[in-house]
Amino acid sequence: MLWGHLSVVRRVVGALALVGVVAGQDLSVPSNWSGSTTSTDSRPVREAFANDAAKALVQNIASTGSLSNTTESQALASMYTVLAQQDLLSANTTWKDTVTANIKTWTGQIDIFGNGTAGSKRTNSNGIQWALAYFYTYKAYGDSSFLTLAKNAFDTTYGSYITPPVAKAKEGGPGRNISFNASGCFDSAAGGIFWLPDVPDNSQIQADTVGPFSVLAGLLYEETKNETYKTLGQQSAQFMGGLLLDEHDVELGVVDVGFCLFNTGRSPGLQGWYVYALSIWANITSDSDLTGKLRTAVSIAAHSTDWTETDGILLDTQTFISDAEFDDKAILVRALSETIRRFPTSGDLVQFIKAFLNVQYNAATNNARSGSSYAQALFGPPPATFSNNGNLVALDVLNAAFDMIPKNASSSSSSGSSPSGTSAPSQTSSTSSSTPVGAIAGGVVGGVAGLAALVGVVFLWRRRNQRQRDNSMREPFDGDKSGNASYEHSPNAPPVVYAVEPFLANSSGNHSFSAPMSSPQFNDSHTTGLSGIQSTSTAPSSNGTQLRAVNDGNQAPAGYSSKLARMNAPPPPLPRGASSPSVTQVSPPASDSAQGADAGSSSAQSQDIPALVGRLVNDLLREHGSVPPQYEER
């Protein structure tokens, strides 16, 4: 039964983390990274590598403003962003003419929400990432016309934004014709943004839309002090840390809030967008809870074996979510670089990130480089011919590498890391108060005690209610938990249908899919990142994807590849009665409790646990002299 209540355990762990936040964070440098976490290269040497890589790349920009071999919107937006950032970080204007002229030329002839080709599908992921490119161009070169373009793209994306009142009402949504009152997800969707602005029956939300939106909101707030940006950006960061975060604190790529389906594929880019947003909002607000989440997200980002080798070198993943998946490594590096700029006095956090970034720098320059050309794979080998993709990835790595060494500083004093397996004394950001060591230790002890008590509570609850349960009832199946594998083969298991991982339905909900294949959302040729769910009893698919049994006859609708559909529609209007976020002030972000009750929770018995555990957690926290945090179901 514990599998069925894992979400409760996870929320309690999150509450205990407010007291002993370091308990779930590992910012020690793994011994497997040793030998690659330092570099004797000075800042000028690193900057020269970065400049040469940029020079080689811009030679392949066509007269149209696109690269010679790609018109992918997200790849091009990333290129102009990283070129502008190189000038911004080095205090130069080397690429000013290249960036400002070519970005105007290219985006002047396309719809930035499309993908750079005639008839391409419009996505908010494309548009908001171009908006970030506009903003960094403005910051690097001071041309206010690019700030206006960034604001306009932000406003257009806001047309698909889910506000707390809309999420609470569970009816319709911005530009949608779907009723969400039967979903266990939509009441937690505040701060989310629909991926497809022009498809009213699509309820898909992607991290590579919400993340850039939250990041840009923070940057625009710092630039304008408009509180609306602060409100929207914080709500989006909360959404990323809520519905899009799995039980291991890893950012998921896609959620369909109409069917409560998740794409459980993982990539450094998805985690990178979450780190990026947290770094900005933790810095702006000086919120200790956000800082704790940032530290955890950074630790997971660098330690995850889903996208790193044992020696720490970043790998490509295949989630088929981003249109420029090869660049996902660069998004994470960019986010980590932003983090150390915003928290320069957080000793252990900075040393950990610098060690990780040095691993990537050493890999790029020693394993993947041939002159000024870089391989897309950081572990090499060097490319036989020039690679636009490789240099795009390398530019973020090289920019981060030179920026983490202060100007006029010796490399030995700034590029090293703490001894392997240890971490430097923890410090907080200059905008946050420090935490006494005794309080941290007490928090960790309290957290352990609380978890032990929690396990006792869960089992006592089970024992009390087991007699009331019908012996024929089966436990909810959680298709993403390996610990449930034995249940698939038990004599009590029902007939199964199969879902191709990494996609699954939210097993905690009681969803009713009436003839899902008849839904126009899944019959047209537009795409979703929720691909591959189908009813079958065959062996694993040809691409090696494993089949996982699902204990529910309500199967997910079949999805589609993320790059095949074509649709050319005019820009969407703002929701009826809504005005531009650039001029409108909205209410502050709702607390987590406003996100609604736990998705799919329908019995009074299962609702006893959060209340019981909530009282337990609050009592434990009071014993440590702390004000108990607000506790509620997700």
306 CB-side CA count, 13 A: 21
Supply the pLDDT for residue 182: 60
Q: What is the dihedral of CA 334, 297, 368, 383, to 10 degrees?
A: -80
Name the pLDDT band for 3 (thresholds 50, 70, 90): very low
Q: Which residues of 389-425 are buried (b: 16+ CB within 10 A; e: fewer)?
A: bbbbbbbbbbbbbbbbbeeeeebeeebbbbeeeebbe
**For the chain, what's the residue count?**
634
Angle (CA) 38-40-43 rounded to 5° is 105
pTM, to two decimals: 0.68
Supply the pLDDT for residue 178: 80
* Sign of the Cα pseudo-torsion (163, 167, 168, 174, in order): positive
Q: What is the dihedral of CA 150, 155, 157, 159, to 10 degrees?
A: -170
Name the pLDDT band for 322 (thresholds 50, 70, 90): confident
In the DSSP assignment, the letter for residue 595 is G
pLDDT at 112 over 90: yes
Closest CA to 206 of 372, 108, 322: 322
Name the pLDDT band for 624 (thresholds 50, 70, 90): very low
Name the pLDDT band for 580 (thresholds 50, 70, 90): low
pLDDT at 306 over 80: yes
Closest CA to 28 of 314, 249, 302: 302
Name the pLDDT band for 410 (thresholds 50, 70, 90): low
Read off the pLDDT of residues 478-532 as tens digits, 9 standing for 90 and up.
Answer: 333 333 333 333 333 333 333 333 334 443 333 333 322 223 333 333 344 443 3
The per-residue pLDDT of the chain, averaged, comes to 72
Give residue limits of the domains in the chain.
28-425
Supply the pLDDT for residue 68: 87
* Sign of the Cα pseudo-torsion (581, 583, 584, 590, in order): positive
Q: Which residues of 313-343 are buried (b: 16+ CB within 10 A; e: fewer)?
A: bbbbbebbbbbbbbbbbbbbbbbbbbbbebb
| Proportion of the chain above pLDDT 90, given as a percent | 51
Where are any strands of DSSP class E within 418-468? none
Supply the pLDDT for residue 326: 82
**Of residues 132 and 457, which shows the higher confidence score?**
132
Among the residue ranges 15-29, 204-218, 246-260, 346-360, the one predicted with the least confidence is 15-29
Among the residue ranges 263-267, 293-297, 563-567, the one predicted with the least confidence is 563-567
Read off the pLDDT of residues 228-247 as tens digits, 9 standing for 90 and up.
Answer: 999 999 999 999 999 999 99
Which residues does residue 256 pair with via DSSP β-bridges, in sequence order?
Answer: 204, 261
For residues 185 and 259, what is the distance between their CA atoms, to the nearest angstrom?
8
**Of residues 491 and 401, which shows the higher confidence score?**
401
Mean pLDDT for the stretch of residues 623-633? 35
Supply the pLDDT for residue 69: 84
pLDDT at 598 over 80: no
Name the pLDDT band for 582 (thresholds 50, 70, 90): low
Supply the pLDDT for residue 183: 62
Supply the pLDDT for residue 519: 30
Read off the pLDDT of residues 414-465 as tens digits, 9 standing for 90 and up.
Answer: 444 433 333 333 333 333 333 333 333 444 444 444 544 554 444 444 444 4
Supply the pLDDT for residue 174: 86
Supply the pLDDT for residue 180: 72
pLDDT at 370 over 70: yes
Where are any strands of DSSP class E within 165-324? 204-206, 254-256, 261-263
- Is the domain spanning 28-425 CATH 2.60.40.680? The answer is no
Instruction: Measure the N-to-C terminal CA separation of the chain; round to a whole number of Å.
Output: 19
Read off the pLDDT of residues 152-200 as tens digits, 9 standing for 90 and up.
Answer: 999 999 999 999 999 988 777 788 888 776 667 898 999 999 999 999 9
C-alpha distances out from residue 500 to 48, 305, 459, 547, Å? 46, 21, 33, 5
pLDDT at 104 over 80: yes
For residues 109 and 118, what is the distance between their CA atoms, to the nearest angstrom?
11
For residues 115 and 72, what is the distance between their CA atoms, to the nearest angstrom?
6
Where are any strands of DSSP class E within 17-163? none
Q: Kindly report the number of other CB atoms within 10 A of residue 205's CB atom.
A: 26
Supply the pLDDT for residue 305: 93
Supply the pLDDT for residue 310: 93
pLDDT at 629 over 80: no
The torsion angles phi and psi of 549, rounded to 5 degrees, stand at -65, 145
